[in-house]
Amino acid sequence: MKKKLLDIVRDKIRFKHYSISTEKTYIFWIKHYIFFHHKQHPENLGKKEIEDFLTFLAVKKKVSPTTQNQAFSALLFLYREVLGIDISTWNVQALRAQQRKHIPVVLTKDEVQTIILNMNGIYQLMIKLMYGCGLRM
């Protein structure tokens, strides 16, 4: 009886002693890749299909760059370790996901004063010291 592709992937990941979270993540992305291409076997897919999938993640799904890299790592593992196809020479050029800008939450002076006035004893002193020195939690 022939083994299913995802079972082979699991066996290979376990053979290489990858963590269980890596196994789950790689299986997740490989499944999504296969379903994205209407259940075609990855052996029948090439550079363009990988680029299409990674671009879809960036443009339509709006995933973060680290998530897109995670998906790409799963596909690299699939092709290199499971299918025995070296895709490093393919020079995959997918549209890269955009880094999200993190905008910190800043309290107004009145909000800070309200917090300080609601503190007592040593806690009020600690808050005043943190605020006065510009420290963060």
Q: What is the pLDDT along the chain (137 residues), one digit of tens a residue?
A: 678 999 999 999 999 999 999 999 999 999 999 999 999 999 999 889 999 999 999 889 989 888 999 999 999 999 999 999 888 788 887 767 666 677 778 888 899 899 999 999 999 999 899 888 887 76
Cα separation, 111 vs 60, in Å, equals 39
- Please report how many Cα atoms fall inside a 13 Å half-sphere around the Cα of residue 105, on the Cβ side: 4
Q: Does residue 121 lie in a domain region? A: yes
Regarding whether 79 and 53 lie in a shared domain, the answer is yes
Residues with Cβ within 8 Å of 131's Cβ and at least 6 positions away in sequence, in order, are 112, 116
Q: 18: which DSSP letter?
A: -
Regarding whether 117 and 81 lie in a shared domain, the answer is no
Q: Does residue 47 lie in a domain region? A: yes
Cα separation, 96 vs 116, in Å, equals 45
Regarding whether 124 and 72 lie in a shared domain, the answer is no
Cβ 68 vs Cβ 57: under 8 Å? yes
Cα separation, 59 vs 98, in Å, equals 9
Regarding whether 75 and 17 lie in a shared domain, the answer is yes
Q: Does residue 39 lie in a domain region? A: yes
The predicted pLDDT at position 11 comes to 95
The predicted pLDDT at position 90 comes to 80
Regarding whether 132 and 67 lie in a shared domain, the answer is no
Number of folded domains that form the chain: 2
Regarding whether 61 and 19 lie in a shared domain, the answer is yes
Residue 125's domain spans which residues? 104-137
Per the document, the length of the chain is 137
pTM over 0.75: no
The predicted pLDDT at position 102 comes to 76
CATH of the domain at 56: 1.10.150.130
The predicted pLDDT at position 1 comes to 62
Regarding whether 36 and 61 lie in a shared domain, the answer is yes
Q: Does residue 97 lie in a domain region? A: no
Cα separation, 77 vs 9, in Å, equals 9
